[in-house]
C-alpha cells in the first residue's frame, strides 16, 4: 500500500488504516488541495481493489489538525463519488483526538469512566477489604489514567480530583481527608507523578537506544549523540522557553524540564539498571516526597479530627 501513494504516511492496525500528511506535501491546484488529496486517495483505493479489498466509506472520516487561531482551507474529499465526512474529534485506538490537540474530549472521557468506577468502589467498600479494593483501583482506574498519558498528562486537574476521591474510598477515609498520606500508605502515585514516570521511561528508552528513530531527537543535543550529559554540573539538557501554551505542554519540553530538575544520581542509574529496577527506584523516590503529616497551619481539614 505504501507504494501506491507518494504523499501519505500510512499507519495500519488490524483492519484500520490511517493516512497522514501535511498540506506542504501536497500540490495546490486552483487555490485548493482537494484534487491532489482525492487523486492520492483514488490511487490507494485502486490498489486495495486490486488486492480484493474495499474501503468502508461510511466509516471513513478526515480531520485537519491546526492551531486554534490558524485559518485552514475547506476540503471536499470523496471516494468513488461519495463524500468523506469531516469531524472535529475522533476515537483513534481508544485515544480521542481533537483538531487542536488540546485533549479535552479525551480527558472528559477518562473522567467519565473514573466517575463510574468511583461509584462502584463506593458500594464495594462495604463488601471487600482494602487489599481487594486496591487491586480494583489499579486495574480499573490506573489503567485508564496510564493509557497515552504522555500525550494528555499535563491536563490532569480534573482527573486528580477524581483520583483523590477514589483513594479516600479504597482507604475507608473521610471524604475530606488529606490524600498525600493515603498515596504513601497505599504505595500509589498521583497522576502528576505517574506522568513524570512515563516521561522518565521515555528518557530511559532514548538513552539506551530502545526506541523508534522518530523519538531519538527528543534530546538531540545530548542523549541522541551519547554525550556525557551528567558530567556537567549546571547544564544537563537545554531547556528552551516555549512561547505558546501548546508547546509548553508538549512532552518534549516537559521531559527536558523534568531532567533539568531531577535527582542526578537517579538519572545516572538509567545506564546500569533494567527498566523495571530503574522505574521502581523512581517510584520509591516520589513516594518519599509525600507528606505523612499536614504542614498547613490551622488546617481546616485537620481541625475536623478525621
Distances (CA, A) of 34 to 57, 63, 83, 208: 17, 14, 12, 43
β partners of residue 85: 61
CA distance 196 to 150: 9
- Residue 95 in this model has a pLDDT that exceeds 90: yes
- Give the pLDDT confidence score for residue 207 in this predicted structure: 87
* CA-closest candidate to residue 198, choices 275, 297, 99: 275
283-301 pLDDT per residue, tens: 999 999 998 887 777 777 7
Kindly report the number of other CB atoms within 10 A of residue 256's CB atom: 22
CA distance 173 to 179: 9
The helix/strand/coil state of 292 is: coil
187-221 pLDDT per residue, tens: 999 999 999 999 999 999 988 888 888 777 777 65
Asked whether 34 and 59 are in contact (CB, 8 A), the reply is: no
Average pLDDT over residues 240-257: 77
Average pLDDT over residues 39-44: 90
178, exposed or middle or buried, with CB in 10 Å at 0-12, 13-18, 19+? buried
Amino acid at each position: 500500500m505504501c507504494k501506491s501513494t507518494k504523499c501519505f504516511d500510512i499507519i495500519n492496525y488490524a483492519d484500520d488504516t490511517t493516512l497522514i500528511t501535511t498540506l506542504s506535501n501536497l500540490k495546490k491546484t486552483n487555490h485548493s488541495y482537494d484534487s491532489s488529496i482525492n487523486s492520492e486517495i483514488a490511487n490507494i483505493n485502486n490498489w486495495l481493489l486490486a488486492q480484493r479489498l474495499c474501503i468502508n466509506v461510511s466509516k471513513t472520516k478526515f480531520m485537519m489538525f491546526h492551531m486554534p487561531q490558524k485559518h485552514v482551507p475547506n476540503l471536499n474529499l470523496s471516494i468513488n463519488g461519495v463524500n468523506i465526512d469531516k469531524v472535529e474529534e475522533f476515537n483513534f485506538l481508544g485515544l480521542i483526538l481533537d483538531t487542536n490537540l488540546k485533549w479535552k474530549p479525551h480527558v472528559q472521557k477518562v473522567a467519565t469512566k473514573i466517575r463510574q468506577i468511583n461509584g462502584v468502589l463506593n458500594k464495594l467498600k462495604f463488601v471487600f477489604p482494602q487489599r481487594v479494593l486496591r487491586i480494583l483501583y489499579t486495574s480499573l482506574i490506573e489503567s485508564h489514567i496510564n493509557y497515552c498519558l504522555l500525550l494528555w498528562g499535563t491536563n490532569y486537574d480534573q482527573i486528580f480530583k477524581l483520583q483523590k476521591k477514589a483513594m479516600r474510598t479504597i482507604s475507608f477515609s473521610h471524604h475530606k481527608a488529606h490524600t498525600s498520606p493515603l498515596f504513601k500508605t497505599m504505595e500509589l502515585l498521583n497522576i502528576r507523578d505517574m506522568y513524570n514516570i512515563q516521561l522518565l521511561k521515555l528518557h530511559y528508552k532514548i538513552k539506551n537506544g530502545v526506541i523508534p528513530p522518530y523519538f531519538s531527537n527528543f534530546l538531540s543535543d545530548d542523549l541522541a549523540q551519547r554525550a556525557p550529559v551528567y558530567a556537567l554540573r549546571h547544564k544537563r539538557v537545554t531547556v528552551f522557553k516555549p512561547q505558546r501554551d501548546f508547546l509548553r505542554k508538549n512532552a518534549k519540553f516537559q521531559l527536558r524540564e523534568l531532567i533539568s530538575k531531577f535527582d542526578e544520581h537517579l538519572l545516572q542509574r538509567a545506564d546500569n539498571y533494567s527498566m523495571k529496577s530503574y522505574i521502581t527506584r523512581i517510584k520509591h523516590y516520589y513516594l518519599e516526597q509525600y507528606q505523612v503529616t499536614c504542614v498547613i497551619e490551622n488546617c481546616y481539614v485537620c481541625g475536623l479530627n478525621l
